[in-house]
Copies of this chain bind each other. A is one copy, B any other.
Amino acid sequence: MPAYVVGHKVPDSDSICSAIALSYLKTTIGEPTVPARLGELSPETLFILDKFGFEQPELKLSYAGEEVYIVDHSDKIQGPDDLDEATVLGIIDHHKLGDITTSTPLECWIRPVGCTNTIIKMMYDFHGVEIPKDIAGAMMCAILSDTVIFKSPTTTTADIKCVEALAEIAGIEDAQALGMEMFKVKSAVEGTPARDLVLRDFKDFNMNGNTVGIGQLEVIDLSMLDAMKADLEADIAKLKAEGERHTVILLLTDIMKEGSELLVASDDASIVEKAYETSLTDNKVWLDGVLSRKKQVVPPLQDAFA
């Protein structure tokens, strides 16, 4: 029986591309492994799979009795619901260390870099396995997505060098231009229901016992969202109630202006104001320079809840 590689719920391009890249690597070194996903794919991820000729990984929600590699998260709440009944063989991630535990030794490659695929490139190098052209292209796009084409403060030298190396393998001359093309696909929000947009890149966190959901929409021009903002605000309030969440935040990120507007629905918005040392007006605030949920949004909020 093969092992699985699976990323987080509401999969993003990094979760999907790292599942594809890691399963190829593991299979090549003699551990049959297949990629899987915990949900529907975003237009950006579908664009990447189409561009490099990949099928969607298998939709698989239950892992009881299976062996599994976890990518792009280490928080239980973001992973498969029955992960406790699976054997976790390894975790490859670039976030804070979450609450997944195991009863047997495992392999963890966790680094403070901009993207899981940057770490998977290190794994290919460690094992001396050549990266196929199409996989290199998908890995490269995932890094450009996660680092917002190197604008995000999560970007490290390792990510930039990795994109250079992968672009060469994939035969792509202008990686950043492909990145912009990808973000244009991501920005096409017209005609999409508010709920789909809110959930497009949404993660729940356990903050001192409270469930806090944080979504992010990255667009190349925030004014594209003006007509939908009221709908988005109404929807995060609904999502908060449905999931018994303490707080739901939606980041509307303008990747060209390099900042985010926060839409907030919370049982106690003063925690959010304290976290970011700001004041909300109509449950909204623009935070200049904030591009990264992981580095700029989650840690201060976690501290404010502690």
Indicate if the CB atoms of A101 and B105 lie closer than 8 Å.
no
Q: Smallest CB–CB gap between A174 and chain B, Å?
A: 29
Instruction: From B96, B102, B295, B303, give the contact of A106 (CB < 8 A).
Output: B96
Instruction: Scan residues 270-306 of chain A and give those whose CB is less than 8 A from a CB of chain B.
Output: 294-295, 298-299, 302-303, 306
A111 at the interface (CB under 8 A from B): yes
A220 at the interface (CB under 8 A from B): no
What chain B residues lie within 8 Å of A99 (beta carbons)?
99, 101
A interface size (C-beta, 8 A): 31
Stretch from A40-48, A87-95, A164-172 at the B interface: A87-95
30 A-B residue pairs with Cβ-Cβ distance under 8 Å, sorted by A, are: A91-B97, A96-B101, A96-B102, A96-B103, A96-B104, A96-B106, A97-B100, A97-B101, A97-B108, A98-B101, A99-B99, A99-B101, A103-B298, A103-B303, A103-B306, A104-B112, A104-B295, A105-B111, A105-B112, A105-B294, A105-B295, A106-B110, A107-B110, A107-B112, A108-B108, A108-B109, A108-B110, A108-B111, A109-B109, A110-B110
Interface string of A135-177 (1 = CB under 8 A from B): 0000000000000000000100000000000000000000000
Q: Smallest CB–CB gap between A14 and chain B, Å?
A: 14
How far apart are the CA atoms of A154 and B299 in the complex, in Å? 37
How far apart are the CA atoms of A107 and B298 in the complex, in Å? 18
Q: Smallest CB–CB gap between A137 and chain B, Å?
A: 25
The 8 closest A-B CB pairs, nearest first, are A108-B110, A105-B112, A97-B102, A108-B108, A103-B302, A96-B102, A103-B299, A97-B101
Q: Smallest CB–CB gap between A111 and chain B, Å?
A: 5
How far apart are the CA atoms of A122 and B123 in the complex, in Å? 12
What chain B residues lie within 8 Å of A299 (beta carbons)?
103-104
Instruction: From B96, B105, B106, B306, give the contact of A105 (CB < 8 A).
Output: B96
What chain B residues lie within 8 Å of A100 (beta carbons)?
97
How far apart are the CA atoms of A96 and B105 in the complex, in Å? 4
How far apart are the CA atoms of A105 and B94 in the complex, in Å? 6
How far apart are the CA atoms of A101 and B73 in the complex, in Å? 12
What chain B residues lie within 8 Å of A102 (beta carbons)?
96-97
What chain B residues lie within 8 Å of A101 (beta carbons)?
96-99
Q: Which residue of B lies closest to A295 (CB)?
A: B105
What chain B residues lie within 8 Å of A295 (beta carbons)?
104-105
How far apart are the CA atoms of A102 and B109 in the complex, in Å? 15
Q: Smallest CB–CB gap between A293 and chain B, Å?
A: 12
Instruction: Scan residues 183-218 of chain A and give those whose CB is less than 8 A from a CB of chain B.
Output: none
What chain B residues lie within 8 Å of A110 (beta carbons)?
105-108, 110
How far apart are the CA atoms of A294 and B111 in the complex, in Å? 25
Given contacts A103-B299, A105-B112, A106-B112, 17 further A-B contacts (CB under 8 A): A91-B108, A96-B102, A96-B106, A97-B100, A97-B101, A97-B108, A99-B101, A103-B298, A103-B302, A103-B306, A104-B299, A105-B111, A108-B108, A108-B110, A108-B111, A109-B109, A122-B126
